[in-house]
Structure 1
Amino acid sequence: MKAVITEVLLEAAQKYPTSFGTYDAHAVLQAIDNIEPSGCKEKDCIKQFYCTEQFAYVFELASDGSVNEQVLRLDLFRLIQPNKTHRGGFDFTGGLLHLFKHFRCDGYHLGTYPSSHNLSHPTDIIGIVIKCFFQSPHRQIEGEKYFTTLTKLDDQNELLCSFFPTGEINVYFLNTGYFPNEN
């Protein structure tokens, strides 16, 4: 996952700009795979490789050296599903590629949507998600397992993220993220 975010994503967006910002998650994955081949030839194999083999766990250490009981799992994405508002399109569900649809870098879209929020580098997204998960207040939704956070990114933008637990343990993944003032 690290190489995809630190090196491959921006290069893919620069070399294959028509694969980004077009509501097509499969095109984004193919562009990434063109830069850093997975070894797969078929679309389903490429999707499976990037969905299941690309993740990281983030732990927070308290000042006393103990580990926070809540753990963040960063996936590239959890699923690819049909786009609900753009017929024929496909979206990433969950994970960093889902969130990248709201961002661009050096004028290049980094996800499936045409985006207007700038990042100085794609790796910035990791810090943003970590800040949302570990530093922003958690708002538990009554009757639900997930929680949301609202994190101020700058003077004009707040990012709402939703984190969902995996099973009965305290490992959470990024379910969604968006700018609520834009919807």
Structure 2
Amino acid sequence: MGGGERPLSPAHRRGARPARQRCGRAPARRDCVAGRTLFRPLRPERRRTEAAMRPRRRRGFTLVEVLLAMAIFTLGIAALMGMFQFGGGMESEARAYAELAPAMEAVVAEVKAQAWRLDASGSIAGLREYKGVEVPGAPGYRYDLQADPDGDAPLRRAVLVFYRSAADKPVARVEFLLPRQVPALRRLRGEG
């Protein structure tokens, strides 16, 4: 071995020689010096530091993170479903008002004109009962009349309750004052 050359690896001491190559085509792990191919050591050995000895954290999500994400997602979906249900209820209420609006004014006028019964002498005998009367011009809807029992007061507070299938589930309400009077035409015709 010469003065500036590196010591040969144990394989060279046993007489093994690497294949001769030209310097331009030498593999990355070999040096080419004066037509001879010499081995150079691979990377110097690194010291294992404390940080390198720690086990690496695995990538991905923990079970707690997945459960938390699922809980947040479920709450979001539940809130959306509640909003849809609330919006659907408002939509059906608006549809009911739109279907009833043209008929409400006519129903109130008819009730004001026909609400009081007359006796044989033509004086007011009492209030008629309106229960489950069909709304003209709005098929499928019915109404009930609820009036305050104020005796002989000239004006009574009255409420028309509109519903579809059951009276305990009203879709619309109209409040008005019901005067204690009968139209003259009704009196002249002698309608009771």
TM-score normalised per structure 1: 0.21
Task: Tell me: higher relative CO, structure 1 or 2? Use CA pairs within 8 A at least 6 residues apart.
Answer: 1
Instruction: Please state which structure has a larger fraction of its residues in strand.
Output: 1
Structure 1 or 2, whichever has the larger Rg, is 2
TM-score normalised per structure 2: 0.20
